[in-house]
Structure 1
Amino acid sequence: MSDIPSPAPAAANPAGANLYALLQAHFPADREACCIETQEGLRYSWDEVDRSSARLAGLLAGLGLPAGARVAVQVEKSPEAMLLYLATLRAGYVYLPLNTAYQEAEVDYFIGNAEPSLVVCSPRNEAWMRGLVARHRVPHLLTLGEARDGTLLEAAAGRSDRFETVHRAPEDLAAILYTSGTTGRSKGAMLSHGNLASNALVLHRYWRWRPGDVLLHALPIFHVHGLFVAIHGALLNGSTMIWLPRFDPKAVIVRLPRATVFMGVPTMYVRLLDDPGFDANACRNMRLFVSGSAPLLPDTFRQFEARTGRRILERYGMSETTMLTSNPYDGNRIAGTVGLPLPGVRVRVVDEAGASCPTGEIGAIQVRGPNVFAGYWRMPEKTKEEFTADGFFRTGDMGRWDANGYLSIVGRNKDLIITGGYNVYPKEIESYIDELPGVFESAVIGVPDRDFGEAVTAVVVPKAGEQVDAGAIVASLKSRIANFKVPKQVHVVAELPRNQMGKVQKNLLRERFGG
């Protein structure tokens, strides 16, 4: 199975208008109903969301920002931060969220590259941010704190609570998301109003959002998963969001009985399973658990089902494309796979010559659809390089079609190990190691080797209270896989390094064990 087309979705926005107009059109009739409930018990009605975003949009418009201006935002998660995102869309500008973990030197690059007209930062970072803003000649700097403090809200307080949403065509730019930049400089993926609207509508139908759904939101909102997938889904459905400033297992467990939908990264599900209070009773009203942003271990999938009676739905997406594939809502959800192409999305797996790979054969994943980005910010040559002649985006991921028609991801192309002339895909080896007794998880990397070019190396984390023997792991693998795939070295560590979205940072492992 090489190229699976799916039925095209309905028109994303019949007026070809601003994404905010689409979301606003789906607000519930009862505008006094609760849209957001915070951990502290604050409640924001749908009417308040509309009026508050209008004030902020009015403020942005009043600054005299040029058409297409970028609004760079590095603030902690809060309802006001979401309102700023909506206001930026509403005013017709381009939203640029920045990971809150980025330090001054990293933010310096983003501001220099994106050239925003406005930067909004946390009050505690104002001093060093002011230096960057001056260096890059950014006209405006405002602050927004977690406790509804800062100069942004002060400046917006006197604005009108009515604002006519600026018209935008589907191809107009709505957001720029910078890639993680684990290899080389980060690239700014340009996402249009049409990209985001089409994906939101498809997921709304595919995941069966329904009246009465309540989203428990514990993800950060500088990333596709928390900002676009979760928030757009709830807003498009008119659903209440129970809003947590950050993930905390006990805070999630306490609120789960009031929720029906939860979206998380694999680390969150592991932490929930570590808590004895997480059980079927806590999940009694839940209908959908979604996992993404990093691979979910099959063992975690099985443990979760055994504990709760529910199967996690795993999906596949990228900053450049939003969501691409998903395990089905009604059909079988299979551990270790990312399911089928979403409606309107085409996915193909090809070999080095560009020919379709047969079922079971590993190849490069390429995608095309209304959700796929326009290109990289100010990188026309890189953009051209990443698209095929017939318009497919080269994701950089390697995968295969399984016999059931589902897509499985085996790793990033940059993680491919070439040892003695043979190709080794880390995910395949990791899947064997993770099944061994006492192993919690593993990461397989290639390190420089005089004889083989690269040597297959495994980094293994044992289960709590258990021990694993490197020699036993090697011996077991030798009986199951080709010898060239067997790790030359096995390192046992307490945990794997991860970024904030739960992705294993293999570049750090290569630096640590490359000697």
Structure 2
Amino acid sequence: MIATILLESMRRNPTKLAVVDPHLRLSYTQLIQMALCMRQATVRETENPRVALMLPSSAAFVSSFFGVAWAGRIPVPVNFLLQPAEVAAILTDAGVDLLVTTRFFEKQAESLPVRKLFVEEVLASTAAAPGREGGPRPEPPQCREDDIAVILYTSGSTGAPKGVCLSHANLLSNCRACIEHARMNPDQRFLGVLPPFHAFGLLAMLLAPVALGATVHYLLRFQPAQVVETIQREAISVFMAVPSMYAALLRLKDAPADSFRPLALAISGGEPLPLNVYAAFEQRWGVRLLEGYGLTETSPVVSINMPWGFRPGSVGRTVQGVQVRIADERGMDAATGREGEVWVRGPNVMRGYYGRPEETEAVIDSEGWFHTGDIGRVDEDGFLFITGRIKDLIIVGGDNVYPREVESALVQHPAVAEAAVLGLPDPGRGEVVVACVTLREGAKTSEAELRGFCRERLAGFKVPRILRILPELPRGPTGKVLKRPLAELVAGQPDGR
């Protein structure tokens, strides 16, 4: 079923520009031919039902993804930023024997325990090259809506990566719901900088534009100056990124005031959007960043703010077909405006974790509710607010401290660029609040000043007892701040101070 959205868009407008990257500009007809090349190569090279893809955001990834699906196989996108041993563990867990990749990653891939299929060789050796009719096109394979369409591996920031199995119905329902929620149309132009191995990137910068029959421009890697230049040159109207990317754009010194004028939608997801980044973007460029919320396990989108439905500090209202429930400690509905665990139910909830039935049962209950592990609340108008993670909750002398609340206070200080808050064990209080911050370029402050700043805005037990000013915060491959290395760094210092 996934492969049909490409065929349908080609039939509607065969000559329309589909994908652009630094090396290729392909119409929908040409993209079909390129996908057909990859389909033929996949059928020839393996009978395994799963095929790994290790490619950057590009026309090659799009054609390979649809080509593998067209061959009746399940694509398994792999994070090319991982170390070879980490990639090998994922390939072994997924049980694949073929990796589709590019010569650019040849050295990185040479030690992996699978055969390699390089996209350059496929396209060079196939008669049905892009732009030429390669004979009759085979029909997409017959499948059921609940068949697995893709396996996406979680980042593994809290343990070993798990393969999230998303069905055709999961992806297509969420794709259509997002298009309707955001009022997207085929005339919009997308800029793809999100990695395709991430659920956010896969939906936002591949499935949605292709389903629309729109045009997507890919950058092989995120470079702030190139982003601004491409938005202006190509009149990009839809841009989606993680907060750290928006923060990097803010560090550009010479970006003109009209840098983002073509944008109709600037959506932020993947991690919490700091208030200082949101405010600075709107003040400098007049662009309101629209924060959304989702998880790999929910295909991924649960909710998104929109220009016509916006509430500061929230992650918007749910998209069509998705239900959210706020559950208290007993699993009962929390009162409106009260915090609890966010539960999600709908056609977007995953089939399960690959090969891990017990872990699947631990997060999806008998009524189909996915227990996210996130803490949040819903206001009287249906806007969802995410306030933290249950696993990140800090308990100081019996009082609950949510890291996001402390982080939000710290980034209001004019010298602070980013903040990460966590808890460390303490024999007297159970835990203490620890904060690590980075500073804006040229800014100066002290740990004592920042603690005083927090005391004016937070209850005493929420004020960081330990505070560190660092040159940078450690990040994972998708840009998320990694708190485990921060905990190790602080705990390894004398007296934790």
What is the TM-score when the length of structure 2 is the normalising length? 0.92
**Residue in structure 2 matched with residue 47 of structure 1 by the alignment:** 29
Of 464, 472, 476, the residue aligned with 1:499 is 476
**Alpha-carbon distance in 1 for matches of 2:105, 2:292:** 35
Q: Give the letter aligned to residue 29 of structure 2.
A: D
Shift of 1:187: 0.8
Aligned counterpart, 1:462? 439
Is 1:38 the counterpart of 2:21? The answer is yes
Question: Is residue 52–residue 100 contact of structure 2 (8 Å, CA) maintained in 1?
Answer: yes
3, 20, 29: which one aligns with 2:3: 20
Query: 314-323 or 26-35: which moved more?
Result: 26-35
Is residue 2:64 matched to residue 1:84?
yes
Structure 1 residues 434 and 402, CA gap change in structure 2 (3 angstroms): farther
Distance 1:307 1:27, change over 3 A: farther
Distance 1:63 1:330, change over 3 A: same
Q: CA deviation at 1:420?
A: 2.2
1:153 is the counterpart of 2:123: yes
Aligned to 2:94: 114
Give, in angstroms, the shift of residue 335 of structure 1: 3.4
Deviation per CA, 1:198-220, whole angstroms, max 9, x where unpaired? 01111111111124211122222
Tell me how far apart the structure 2 counterparts of residues 105 and 264 of structure 1 sit (CA, whole Å): 28
1:379, 1:478 → 2: CA distance?
Answer: 45
The equivalent of 1:189 in structure 2 is 164
Change in CA separation of 1:353 and 1:235 when aligned onto 2, cut-off 3 Å? same
> Which residue of 2 is the match for residue 7 of structure 1?
none
Asked if 1:374 is matched to 2:356, the reply is: no
Which one of the candidate residues 66, 80, 84 is aligned to 1:100?
Answer: 80
- Check the 8 A contact 2:33/2:128 in 1, yes or no: no
Picking from 399, 411, 420, the partner of 2:388 is 411
- Per-residue deviation, 1:179: 0.8
What is residue 437 of structure 1 aligned with on the other side? 414
Q: Quick one: structure 1 residues 63 and 440, their matched pair in 2 at CA, closer, same or farther if it must change by over 3 Å?
A: closer
Q: Where does residue 12 of structure 1 map in the other structure? A: none
Match of 2:270 in 1: 293
Partner AA of 2:168 in structure 1 = H
Residue 89 of structure 1 and its aligned partner are, at CA, apart by: 1.4
* Letter of the 1:153 counterpart: L
Give the partner amino acid of 1:191. L
- Closer, same or farther: CA 329–124 of 1 in aligned 2, 3 Å: closer
Q: 1:173 to 1:292 in 2, by over 3 A?
A: same
Distance in 2 between residues matched to 1:282 and 1:132, nearest whole Å: 42
Deviation at 1:228, TM superposition (A): 1.9
Change (3 A) 1:126 1:44: same
1:333 to 295, 306, 310: 310
Q: Secondary structure at the match of 1:320?
A: helix
SS at match of 2:66: helix
8 Å Cα contact 1:266/1:295 also seen in 2: yes
1:469 Cα offset (Å): 2.0
Cross-structure match for 1:70? 50
Partner of residue 178 from structure 1, selected from 127, 133, 153: 153
Summarize the Cα distance change of 1:97–1:407 in structure 2 as closer, same or farther, 3 Å threshold: same
Deviation at residue 156 of structure 1 after TM alignment: 4.3
* Cross-structure match for 1:207: 182
Question: Residue 334 and residue 81 in structure 1: after superposition, are their counterparts in 2 closer, same or farther (change >3 A)?
Answer: same
Q: Please tell me whether the aligned partners of residues 35 and 67 of structure 2 are also in contact (alpha carbons under 8 angstroms).
A: yes
Give the whole-Å Cα distance in 2 for the aligned partners of 1:401 and 1:317.
15
2:259 equivalent among 251, 274, 282: 282
Say if 2:378 and 2:385, in contact at 8 Å, map to a contact too: yes
Could you tell me which of 274, 287, 295 is aligned with 1:310? 287
Q: Say how many residue pairs are matched.
A: 485
Structure 1 letter corresponding to 2:278: F
CA contact (8 A) 1:346 1:367 kept: yes
Q: Does 1:320 align with 2:290?
A: no
Matched, 1:57 2:32: no
1:448 CA displacement: 2.1
Q: Matches of 1:30 and 1:168 in 2, distance apart?
A: 26
> Which shows bigger deviation, 173-182 or 240-249?
240-249
Alignment of 1:464-483 (within 5 A): 464-483=441-460
Task: Compute the displacement of 1:30 (Å).
Answer: 3.3
Cα RMSD of the aligned pairs, angstroms, is 2.1
CA distance in 2, matches of 1:270, 1:472: 24
CA distance in 2, matches of 1:259, 1:218: 12
Q: Once the 2 structures are TM-superposed, how far is the Cα of residue 223 of structure 1 from its aligned partner?
A: 1.1
Q: Where does structure 2 lack aligned partners over 5 or more consecutive residues?
A: 493-497
SS in 2 for 1:73: strand
In 2, the alpha carbon distance for the partners of 1:27 and 1:64 equals 28
Task: Specify the code of the residue in structure 2 equivalent to 1:164.
Answer: E
Aligned to 1:15: none
**2:491 matched to 1:514?**
yes
What is residue 495 of structure 2 aligned with on the other side? none
5+ residue gaps, structure 1: 1-17
